[in-house]
Amino acid sequence: MSTIFSKIAKGEIPSYKIAENEDFFAFLDINPMAKGHTLVIPKKEVDYIFDLDDEVLAKLNIFAKKIAIAQKEALQCLRIGSMVIGLEVPHAHIHLIPINKESDMSLSNPRLKLSEEEFIEIANAIKAKL
Ligand code: 5GP
């Protein structure tokens, strides 16, 4: 059975896509901790990120780096925080979160509710920097 993230990567479920290549896919988190909160996944279905082959994990991080650089240029923030949680969706992913202070990474922060227009605007701003 396919994970929800596999369905997103295949285009079977809509998402606000940021980028993809043969092996990886990046899209906006639907319940973002900050504007521009992005998830980066391997297309290959592996539940736990630290079960990925070394080479895939390294390439996933290199792909994430490109996204993070574009996020930082597109959005007003001091850093892009990187986090792995993986308790909700059983498909390896890295959270890339624009932050200005340590508490912006707190999991207890309320998630933002954005309109479709806002998601599209944010995705376009990041994509324009890639
Ligand atoms: P985790 O598995 O790392 O604990 O959390 C999964 C993350 O995926 C959450 O931040 C959640 O908002 C996000 N998420 C869950 N389902 C969807 C979805 O269908 N689309 C998108 N874009 N994000 C999702």
CA angle centred on 10, ends 4 and 11, rounded to 5°:
90
State if pTM tops 0.95: yes
Tell me the three-class secondary structure of the chain, residue by residue. Answer: CCCHHHHHHCCCCCCCEEEECCCEEEEECCCCCCCCCEEEEECCCCCCHHHCCHHHHHHHHHHHHHHHHHHHHHCCCCEEEEECCCCCCCCCCEEEEEECCHHHHCCCCCCCCCCHHHHHHHHHHHHHCC
Digit-coded pLDDT (tens) for 75-100:
999 999 999 999 999 999 999 999 99
Digit-coded pLDDT (tens) for 24-80:
999 999 999 999 999 999 999 999 999 999 999 999 999 999 999 999 999 999 999
The answer, yes or no, to whether any atom of ligand 1 lies below 6 A from the CB of 30, is yes
CATH number of the domain bearing residue 75: 3.30.428.10
Q: Which domain holds residue 26?
A: 4-128
If one counts the domains in the chain, the total is 1
The answer, yes or no, to whether any atom of ligand 1 lies below 6 A from the CB of 4, is yes
Does residue 1 register a pLDDT over 90? no
- Please identify, by atom number, the ligand 1 atom nearest to the C-alpha of residue 88: 2
